[in-house]
């Protein structure tokens, strides 16, 4: 992964929208990849982004959550936890491939392909300014805010 995605990316988003990297240029973004809607770690992470959303947007950033779940699953997850930001469905793993977040993981003793919890801060020029991989949920959103405020 270079510090700028080579190609554009379009993904279906909640609220009937379509997300495109090229259309998002000019505004910094926080893109966070998570394994699955309605699982304990992913729910905690989504709520932490929800609770920090006003602060992130006041700093000029837009937030997007990305997983391989369907749009229907995302809509339910978003409504259940009143998430103020859009969730992007990457069922074809286009974003996952572009950002290289699919890893082999152990699940109940079996090797499975899954999303490695990762977050990317994308600057207004569309370049990756900072990335976190193998994210542990506790304190992660605070780390992102600290990084953004230090710039």
Helix, strand, coil shares, percent, the chain, to 5: 35, 30, 35
Q: Identify whether 42 is a catalytic site residue.
A: yes
> E strand or H helix at 92, and its extent?
none
Six token digits for residue 76: 């339910």
Give the whole-angstrom CA distance, residue 102 versus residue 95. Answer: 10
Catalytic residue among 11, 21, 30, 42: 42
C-beta separation of 45 from 136 below 8 A: no
C-beta separation of 134 from 117 below 8 A: yes
Between strands 86-89 and 62-67, the pairing is parallel
Give me the active site residues, please: 42
């Amino acid at each position: 992964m270079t510090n700028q995605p080579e190609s554009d990316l379009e993904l279906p988003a909640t609220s009937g929208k379509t997300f495109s990297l090229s259309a998002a240029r000019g505004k910094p973004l926080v893109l966070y990849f998570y394994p699955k809607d309605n699982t304990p770690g992913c729910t905690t992470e989504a709520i932490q982004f929800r609770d920090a959303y006003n602060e992130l947007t006041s700093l000029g950033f837009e937030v997007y959550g990305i997983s391989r779940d369907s749009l229907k699953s995302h809509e339910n997850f978003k409504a259940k936890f009143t998430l103020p930001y859009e969730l992007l469905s990457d069922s074809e793993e286009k974003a996952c491939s572009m950002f290289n977040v699919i890893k082999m993981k152990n699940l109940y003793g079996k090797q499975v392909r899954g999303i490695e919890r990762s977050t990317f801060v994308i600057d207004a020029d569309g370049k990756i300014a900072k990335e976190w991989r193998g994210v542990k949920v506790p304190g992660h959103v605070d780390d992102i805010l600290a990084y953004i405020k230090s710039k």
